[in-house]
Each structure stands twice: as structure tokens, then as C-alpha cells.
């Protein structure tokens, strides 16, 4: 909490005290009050108590140690791709994905003055999503831990040549003026968040609902291993909506894959596909099965 800029600390402390009184209702998110994670938590569960955390690790740790019942974490953006480090953090956390939520993202440029500006501070994802706007104006992007925190940081610096890229509400929270709105490079800019908890979602919660299942796996290091491992999804008619690779460690000898499929363990087709996948894998871990919020395809 001490790592937040001074203008955000009072609100962080207030929200932390409220969360401490009823941990079961708490949804931890990464960022200062007013960031997109804050908005996502309230949209996903309007009755929740949002808890700001400085880093993704802090948000996940809050669930693991019982400070929060759940966490909501951005995992990918329609324009800028996956959020850095999330594919490493989720499997290592020991938590389970119990839900997903899609948030349309819009950004404003905010500052203490009308400019001109030398630098814009924000989360790397937000800077990537507003790259064309900033480049056209010669504003240097400067990475910060989160969007709303960047707004608080600009307010704390007091530099009229510094600005922040953040959600509209951050300007009101931290006493900045809106210089420009809707500066994202794509009108359909959307971020997918996942909700995590200590325990998996009970199967009964999926009754009558389309399910998504997320898992990570590492295939054996032999020719055509990935091709063979994925064949079971095709032959059993299971729709794989996401497949991404990433390296674990520095050996570069083995690749880990992150995948989403439509369906749940217990469905015969899904069970057969996962069984065939496991046969070709050194490791297979299901990270969670949860209701599908947005239809794929």
C-alpha cells in the first residue's frame, strides 16, 4: 500500500479498512482506485468490496491469505494482446478461475495543464492501446504500475508537462483536468478479466450454462508432440478458443501452453480430449472451469 502515490493513499486506506471488516465480500484488483480493475470488480459484483493492490502478485496473495475472497485480474486485451506475466502468475498462484468479465476500455488524457506534454504515464497495456495518439503528438510513453496510479503520480509530481492515460474517473479522483477523451486507437478496445478464488467453482454452478475451461500444459519434447496432443480436441468436436505459448525458465528446451476451451470436465467429449492431451504431456493442469460470459465464434 505504501507504494501508491500520496494522492491515492487515503482512498486505498479507506477501502482497505472496509475490506478488513468483511473479507468474504472482497474482490482484490491491481491498481489504484479508479483503474479499470476497480471498475471490473464493481461491474462483476456490484455488492463486492473492492480492494486496491499495488501489484498482480499482491492481489493474488490477498486471496491466498484470506484478506480477499476473490481477485479480478486482466488477462488479455483485444488490441494489445495478453497482459505481461499473467500466464506465469496464474499457475503459480494455486488459485482457480471461477469467472470471466469483459470490459470495454476507453481512455482519457489528463494532466494539471493543457500542455504541451513531454511524457505520458500509464500501464504498458494502456500505452500500447493509445500508441498512435501519443506518437502523433510526440508524447513519450512512460510505463507505470497502473493507469489510475499514473494519474495520482502526475498529480503528485506537479509537472505541467506530464500527463496520464487513465480512465475518466481518475481525473476526478486525483484533481486532474481532462485534456482529451476517447484516445484509444481502436473503438472496440476490450479487456478480458478473470476472477480467481481459493476453491474451484462447484459443478452445480454451471448447470444450464455454457462453460469455459482454462488449462496449462507442457508437451513431451518430441517431433509432432503438439500436433498429436491437440488432435483430440478436433476429433471430439471441442472448440479451443485460445492457445498461447510461453517459456518457463531459461533453458528454452520446453514450451508451456495456455489454452481455453468451450466445455467442462464431465462432458464426455471434453474428458476424451483432455485424456488424449494428457497422454502426450509432461504436465497438465486445469486452472478452472467457469461460466462463459461472452460467446466465442
Q: What is the mean pLDDT of residues 32-49?
A: 97
Q: How confident is the model at residue 250 (pLDDT cuts 50, 70, 90)?
A: low
Given a contact cutoff of 8 angstroms between Cβ atoms, the answer to whether 53 and 59 are in contact is yes
| pLDDT in the model for residue 124 | 94
Q: How far is CA 74 from CA 71, 151, 188, in A?
A: 10, 19, 17
DSSP lists the bridge partners of residue 100 as: 194
| pLDDT in the model for residue 251 | 64
Q: What 3-state DSSP class applies to 256? A: strand
- What's the whole-model pTM score? 0.93
Given a contact cutoff of 8 angstroms between Cβ atoms, the answer to whether 246 and 87 are in contact is yes
Given a contact cutoff of 8 angstroms between Cβ atoms, the answer to whether 150 and 159 are in contact is no
* Overall fold of domain 203-291: Alpha-Beta Plaits (3.30.70)
Alpha-carbon span 7 to 211, nearest angstrom: 41
Given a contact cutoff of 8 angstroms between Cβ atoms, the answer to whether 110 and 175 are in contact is no
Q: How confident is the model at residue 160 (pLDDT cuts 50, 70, 90)?
A: very high
Q: What is the CATH number of domain 7-102+190-197?
A: 3.40.190.10
Cα 57 to the center of its chain, rounded Å: 12
CATH architecture of 108-181: 3-Layer(aba) Sandwich (3.40)
Q: Which residue, 256, 268, 239, 297, is CA-closest to 92? A: 256
Cell of 90: 496464474
Alpha-carbon span 143 to 149, nearest angstrom: 11
Predicted confidence (pLDDT) per residue in 171-216, tens digit: 999 999 999 999 999 989 999 999 999 999 999 999 999 999 999 9
Predicted confidence (pLDDT) per residue in 219-242, tens digit: 988 889 899 999 999 999 999 999
Positions marked active-site: 191, 193
Residue with cell 493492490: 53
Q: How far is CA 47 from CA 30, 42, 61, in A?
A: 19, 7, 22
Alpha-carbon span 66 to 182, nearest angstrom: 38
Query: What is the helix (H) or strand (E) element at residue 73, kind and residue range?
Result: strand 70-77
Q: Boundaries of CATH 3.40.190.10 in the chain? A: 7-102+190-197, 108-181
Residue 186 burial (10 A CB sphere; 0-12, 13-18, 19+): middle
Alpha-carbon span 296 to 71, nearest angstrom: 24
Q: What share of the chain is helix, strand, coil (3-state, %, to 5)?
A: 35, 35, 35
With 50 as the cut, is the pLDDT of residue 1 above it? no
Amino acid at each position: 500500500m505504501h507504494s501508491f502515490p500520496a494522492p491515492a493513499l487515503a482512498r486505498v486506506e479507506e477501502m482497505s479498512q472496509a475490506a478488513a471488516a468483511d473479507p468474504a465480500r472482497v474482490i482484490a484488483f491491481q491498481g489504484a482506485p479508479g483503474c479499470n480493475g476497480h471498475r471490473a470488480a464493481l461491474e462483476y459484483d456490484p455488492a463486492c468490496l473492492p480492494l486496491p493492490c499495488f501489484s498482480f502478485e499482491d492481489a493474488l496473495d490477498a486471496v491466498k491469505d484470506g484478506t480477499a475472497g476473490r481477485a479480478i485480474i486482466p488477462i488479455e486485451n483485444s488490441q494489445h494482446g495478453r497482459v505481461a506475466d499473467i500466464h506465469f502468475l496464474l499457475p503459480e498462484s494455486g488459485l482457480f478461475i471461477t469467472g470471466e468479465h469483459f470490459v470495454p476500455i476507453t481512455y482519457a488524457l489528463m494532466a494539471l495543464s493543457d500542455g504541451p506534454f513531454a511524457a505520458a504515464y500509464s500501464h504498458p497495456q494502456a500505452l500500447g492501446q493509445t500508441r498512435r495518439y501519443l506518437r502523433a503528438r510526440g508524447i513519450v510513453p512512460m510505463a507505470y504500475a497502473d493507469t489510475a496510479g499514473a494519474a495520482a503520480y502526475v498529480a503528485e509530481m506537479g509537472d505541467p508537462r506530464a500527463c496520464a492515460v487513465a480512465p475518466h474517473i481518475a481525473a476526478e479522483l486525483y484533481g486532474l483536468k481532462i485534456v482529451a477523451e476517447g484516445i484509444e486507437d481502436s473503438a472496440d478496445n476490450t479487456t478480458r478479466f478473470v476472477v480467481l478464488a481459493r476453491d474451484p467453482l462447484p459443478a452445480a454452478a454451471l448447470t444450464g450454462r455454457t462453460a469455459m475451461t482454462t488449462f496449462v500444459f507442457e508437451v513431451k519434447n518430441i517431433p509432432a508432440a503438439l500436433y498429436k496432443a491437440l488432435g483430440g480436441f478436433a476429433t471430439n468436436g471441442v472448440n479451443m478458443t485460445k492457445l498461447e505459448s510461453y517459456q518457463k525458465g531459461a533453458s528454452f528446451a520446453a514450451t508451456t501452453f495456455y489454452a481455453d476451451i468451450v466445455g467442462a470436465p464431465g462432458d464426455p467429449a471434453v474428458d476424451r480430449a483432455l485424456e488424449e492431451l494428457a497422454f502426450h504431456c509432461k504436465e497438465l493442469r486445469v486452472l478452472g472451469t467457469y461460466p462463459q460470459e461472452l460467446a466465442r465464434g
